[in-house]
Structure 1
Amino acid sequence: MDQDSRQVSRLWRVYRTIHQMVDDRGYLVSYSELNMDLDAFRAQYARGGAVDRNSLTFLVQKRDDPADQVLVFFPEEPSLGVKTIRKYCERMLTQNVQKSIIIYPESLTPSAKKAVEHVGDKYHLELFKEADLLVNITHHNLVPRHDILSPEEKRTLLQRYRLKESQLPRILINDPVARYYGLKRGQVVKITRASETAGRYITYRLCM
């Protein structure tokens, strides 16, 4: 397999995982995008042999809130720089989108990191390295099911067990599964594990 073919296969896996991710977060994703095979991906995005990363950019909206939209970007440069971050923010401004996911090939420059922090009060930019999305970690048999509680469900949980928020076990915001679901600080996730004795075992964790 030549280098272009390996790169096409790699990006197809990443493309598949990011569509599964936004689908799991409650955004509208077409069946054809979720189930696109390698041949279809190659025919659509790599007609010349190599993938045009700019053509991979896509926009999704929440199933129950069309105003909640996310732009997903695939920058071309191996080391993501501040100019590209600014370009993406300009596009977000033009399209009136406050959230984006940026999937960079290899690394992030220090100036790009500062730029992301600088715009954090206006835009929500999530950064993922390609290598982190080659496989969907939530599909691993050792990763239990995670469900994010709504604010109402969280209040009901705390009232039912007479708990303070601080008494809940914690999941770190940079935990791989927390990043996959886009958990925010203060959110509670319900974790359902298989149990040989009880059938299933449920725990709750507060994102910190």
Structure 2
Amino acid sequence: MDDRLYQIRKTILQMLSDRGYLVNPLELEQTKEEFKRSFAPDGQNISREAMTIFYVKKKDPTKQIYVFFPEDPKVGVKPIRKYVEMMKERQVARAIIVVQQNITAFAKQALNEFSQAKNIQLEQFNEAELLINITHHQLVPKHTLLAKEEKSELLQRYKMRESQLPRIQLNDPIARYFGLERGDVVKIVRPSETAGRYVTYRLVV
């Protein structure tokens, strides 16, 4: 279990770094032994609650994120309500909840209701999804989120509307990894035997 949680936390830290959050390089290089010393208070069992993460964006410190690791195998409404209260106290608008199993139907409904009513974003990942970093797979091309100005320049350059761009679904694993939102545009660079590289753009829908 230690190895599993170690890898999950490592993937989360890589994800946050790729999203532009200020992650200490030393944390990215943390060894399994260091991980256990940090998160196993009794020297034996890893405390998921102690693994809670808080980071800010490099370019905009007002954009902050929590990552929660609930202790309960199946998450209900109560821990979600507790996390929302923590977010309100620190005025944090975004969080990731890493669950061991699928959350209950009531908890899923609560996620949606809290997101709409509290003006926050709550993302959910299963631990199994984070055992490997999908962006490190050799068949996955490089994805880069365009800034708003870059998106406008792209549309002007090709004299097109955003609806004319190829699409990527909001629930696509890559879109979820980068925390993309509807209306975002990603630049995708693939290797090409003839041109060296092949560049495409996709609109998140």
Identify the residue that residue 32 of structure 1 maps to in structure 2.
26
Deviation at 1:48, TM superposition (A): 2.7
1:18, distance to aligned residue in structure 2 (A): 0.2
Shift in Å at residue 189 of structure 1? 0.2
The alignment's TM-score, normalised by the length of structure 2, stands at 0.97
The residue aligned with 2:8 is: 14
What is the TM-score of this pair, normalised by structure 1?
A: 0.95
Aligned to 1:3: none
Match of 1:55 in 2: 50
Runs of 4+ aligned structure 1 residues displaced above 3 Å come to none
Kindly provide the CA deviation profile for residues 70-99 of structure 1, in whole angstroms up to 9, marking residues without a partner as x.
011000111111001000001111111111
Aligned with residue 115 of structure 1, among 110, 113, 117: 110
5+ residue gaps, structure 1? 1-6
Paired amino acid for 2:172: D
Alpha-carbon shift at residue 119 of structure 1 (Å):
1.2
Moved more, 131-140 or 112-121: 112-121
| Pairs within 5 Å for 1:1-208 | 7-46=1-40, 47-121=42-116, 122-208=119-205
Specify every segment of 5 or more residues in structure 2 that has no aligned partner in the other structure, as ranges.
Answer: none
CA distance in 1 between partners of 2:91 and 2:159 (Å) = 41
Name which of structure 1's ranges 31-40 and 140-149 shifts more when overlaid on structure 2: 31-40
- How far apart in 2 are the matches of 1:37 and 1:120? 35
Q: SS of the counterpart of 1:202?
A: strand
Shift of 1:159: 0.9
2:26 alignment partner, SS class = helix
- Residue by residue over 1:136-180, the C-alpha shift from the partner in whole angstroms, topping out at 9 and shown as x without a partner, is 000001000000011111111111111111110000000000000
**% of aligned pairs identical?**
51
Aligned-partner residue type, residue 137 of structure 1:
I
Distance 1:154 1:95 in 2: 32
- Is the partner of 2:111 in helix, strand or coil? helix
> Aligned Cα RMSD in Å?
0.8
- Larger strand fraction of residues: 1
- SS of the residue 1:118 aligns to: helix
Contact 2:36 2:43 in 1 (8 A): no
